[in-house]
Amino acid sequence: MIIHQLKNKFYNLRNNSKNIRKPHEIIIFTDGYSFSATSFLIKQTQFRKGAIIVGYGGNPENNIFDSGQSPSAVKITNDDPDSIEQKIENCGYTLYYTYSESFKYHENISYPMEYETTNIDERVKLYNKFANARYQDFIGAAKTIFNKYNNSNCNPKNKNILFETDECKFPDDPHALGGYECGKDGTWTKKCVPYYCEIGYYFDILEKKCVNDPCYRIQENNEGIKKIYLGLWIAFISAAIICGILMVIFKLKTKIEEKCSKVLIFFIILLAMLLLGIIFLAGYFEY
């Protein structure tokens, strides 16, 4: 249920977003020194053709620049330590270590991404560590790269960035969306490549086509269930209000000896309607 709810939030965000940036309009700066979630985010963004990955720092004479060092889950010895980790802590050390590797699953690779170099798209001549005082330097470098990628130029050595455009259509896969591929001459071609799908579908990297997203179907079903819960909540709350009004009327107009029994009946019905209303309201928010 949690996964489905997260998916629903993603689809709602995507539906309601007005200014969605295209991959050639997004830059991720990296100094290559990243591990765990940060490294995994950068590398998976590259594999999914999601942004321009730009390197800074490092050796100016080395053309190989891995975008991240360790895309694996990390454990810390002082975080809920077991007996061995506690011994390490007792010796005055805190150790960070990997315990769950990740794989470039869309290719037939049997070794973890730890052992694969994922080269960056662009490199800038900024060799010091990032600091707020150097923020404008990074802004200037980013503008130069954006101008390059938005004015016919691209990186012919890296096919991970596409020039997303609505002009790309895929008759064999009508739910697919994509963009132009970078040519050997360093300019955008008119060759369309799919890389993502309309809402309700996801791009199967192995098959290179759009397939139904079962989580989205569950979301659609959940919307129907939510409407039922909301309708029942309105019905029972309305019934409770009517019972309350009738209870007041009987209390005012009936004879003294008849008041207690009839008012008690309406009071019991009122409580029952309110209880059911609360139950169905909780069900509405659950979905």
Positions of the chain with pLDDT lower than 70, given as ranges? 1-8, 11, 105-109, 217-233, 236-240, 242-287
What is the three-class DSSP state of 181? strand
How far apart CA 3 and CA 13 sit, in angstroms, is 15
What is the three-class DSSP state of 161? coil
In the chain, count of helices (H) and strands (E)? 6, 10
Q: What is the pLDDT of residue 59?
A: 84
Q: What is the pLDDT of residue 264?
A: 59
Alpha-helix residue ranges (DSSP H) falling in 17-169: 37-47, 83-90, 135-149
How far apart CA 90 and CA 113 sit, in angstroms, is 33
Q: What is the pLDDT of residue 4?
A: 55
Q: What is the pLDDT of residue 58?
A: 84
pTM above 0.75, yes or no: no
How far apart CA 162 and CA 176 sit, in angstroms, is 14
Task: Map out the domains of the chain as residue ranges.
Answer: 22-155, 162-212, 218-286
